[in-house]
């Protein structure tokens, strides 16, 4: 089992539920936009959020952002140790920085001191594209062993300073190297692992690669937190992450929303309703299946397993529970009523 590392109110590793995380795509300095995106992510089921901190204004923004969100926040920093210290001072719950990139041991010491004072963990993030030249030469390219060696060196810098609140990620742009690197790493270290396939592409492409890579590792008991990287809406990263965890049998308690593919019989806007309801209730914890079906012909029958659902009909939808019709909902009220029924069922 990996060691447990606390990030604000959540724990990564130590056999705790695998944490779902994402990263904002806003300019962190745009505080209202960043808060709004984090709140959206949180509603969809995000449990830990990372923001980019490329300058001091972004570090300062963390203070106001933190006041308006309820999930822990990770500051993503490259190279500049002063930004890391500022991010910690302004309230980041965790930082992502590679000590090997900071410059000098003195600078790393300053960051470690600030992190220790506030019990802030550090994620060391190794990406296949940014491995040091001498390591690449030693291993003959950015192979899995070179990625692990990079992580090993970064970890050693922190350990030598008596710092052990470490989370590690080893991400490659392809599934095979990501799996290999994480397997080698997990045999040697007990630090919690952040899983992901980096720069994985458009949502459909990235979801497939992420699912294959992350699922394979989760199945071997490797991975304590996951981030699906997609070139698209961030909420899609959360939806994908949840489904990967569900497929791997790791987070059965997450609400499941199913929907029909739609066809010429469709009487309601299944895509919009499914997207919207996922955003509204995605963070609800509980064994509950919700079905959004386009018509009454196949809807209720095909969704017999669902606890609650709707099937499109003329001017609205039939509300059904366990495959039985229990009422009619007007078109405009579908989302409100469905959300209310879901919350009622979950006793919220």
Q: Select the residue interacting with ligand SF4 from 56, 297, 325, 345 (CB under 6 A).
A: 297
Question: How near is the Cβ of 264 to ligand SF4 at its closest, in Å?
Answer: 7
Under 8 Å between Cβ of 100 and 157: yes
Q: Which stretch binds ligand SF4 (CB under 6 A): 99-107, 180-188, 257-265, 275-283?
A: 257-265
Q: Is 260 near ligand SF4 (CB under 6 A)? A: yes
CA separation (Å) from 83 to 4, 22, 65, 80, 165? Answer: 26, 21, 16, 6, 19
Q: Which stretch binds ligand SF4 (CB under 6 A): 199-207, 222-230, 244-252, 262-270?
A: 262-270
Q: Select the residue interacting with ligand SF4 from 53, 293, 318, 338 (CB under 6 A).
A: 293
Beta strands in the chain (DSSP E): 5-7, 10-12, 19-23, 48-52, 73-76, 94-96, 122-127, 166-171, 193-195, 225-227, 256-259, 289-293, 308-313, 316-321, 324-330
Q: Which stretch binds ligand SF4 (CB under 6 A): 15-23, 227-235, 256-264, 333-341?
A: 256-264
Q: Select the residue interacting with ligand SF4 from 299, 300, 309, 316 (CB under 6 A).
A: 299
Helix, strand, coil shares of the chain, percent, nearest 5, are 45, 20, 35
Question: How near is the Cβ of 260 to ligand SF4 at its closest, in Å?
Answer: 3
Q: Is 265 near ligand SF4 (CB under 6 A)? A: yes
Question: How near is the Cβ of 44 to ligand SF4 at its closest, in Å?
Answer: 23
Question: How near is the Cβ of 266 to ligand SF4 at its closest, in Å?
Answer: 4
Question: How near is the Cβ of 131 to ligand SF4 at its closest, in Å?
Answer: 47
DSSP state string for 281-339? HTT-BSS-EEEEES-TTTHHHHTTT-SEEEEEETTEEEEEETTEEEEEEEGGGHHHHHH
Rg, C-alpha atoms of the chain? 22
Q: Is 26 near ligand SF4 (CB under 6 A)? A: no
Under 8 Å between Cβ of 71 and 34: no
- Of 261 and 347, CB closest to ligand SF4: 261
Positions that interact with ligand SF4 (CB under 6 A)? 260-263, 265-266, 293-295, 297-299
């Amino acid at each position: 089992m990996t060691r447990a590392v606390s990030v604000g109110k959540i724990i990564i590793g130590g056999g705790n539920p695998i944490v779902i995380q994402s990263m904002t795509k806003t300019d962190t300095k745009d505080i209202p936009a960043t808060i709004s995106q984090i709140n959206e992510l949180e509603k969809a089921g995000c449990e830990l959020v990372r923001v980019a901190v490329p300058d001091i204004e972004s570090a300062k923004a963390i203070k106001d952002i933190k006041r308006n969100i309820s999930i822990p926040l990770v500051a993503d920093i490259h190279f500049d140790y002063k930004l890391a210290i500022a991010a910690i001072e302004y309230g980041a719950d965790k930082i992502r920085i590679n000590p090997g990139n900071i410059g000098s041991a003195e600078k790393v010491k300053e960051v470690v001191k600030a992190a220790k004072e506030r019990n802030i963990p550090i994620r060391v993030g190794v990406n296949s594209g940014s491995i040091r030249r001498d390591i690449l030469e030693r291993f003959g390219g950015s192979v899995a062993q070179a990625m692990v060696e990079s992580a090993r060196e970064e970890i050693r810098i922190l350990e030598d300073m008596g710092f052990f609140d470490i989370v590690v990620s080893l991400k490659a742009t392809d599934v095979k190297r990501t799996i290999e690197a994480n397997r080698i790493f997990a045999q040697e270290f007990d630090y919690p692992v952040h899983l992901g396939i980096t720069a994985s592409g458009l949502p459909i492409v990235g979801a497939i690669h992420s699912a294959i890579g992350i699922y394979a590792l989760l199945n071997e008991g490797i991975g304590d937190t996951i981030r699906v990287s997609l070139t698209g809406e961030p909420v899609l990263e959360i939806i994908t992450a949840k489904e990967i965890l569900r497929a791997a049998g790791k987070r059965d308690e997450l609400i499941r929303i199913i929907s029909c593919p739609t066809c010429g019989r469709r009487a309601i806007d299944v895509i919009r309703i499914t997207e919207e309801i996922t955003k509204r209730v995605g963070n609800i914890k509980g064994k509950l299946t919700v079905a959004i079906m386009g018509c009454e012909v196949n809807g209720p029958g095909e969704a017999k397993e669902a606890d609650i659902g709707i099937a499109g009909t003329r001017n609205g939808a039939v509300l059904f529970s366990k495959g039985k019709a229990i009422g009619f909902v007007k078109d405009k009220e579908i989302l409100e009523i469905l959300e209310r029924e879901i919350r009622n069922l979950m006793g919220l």
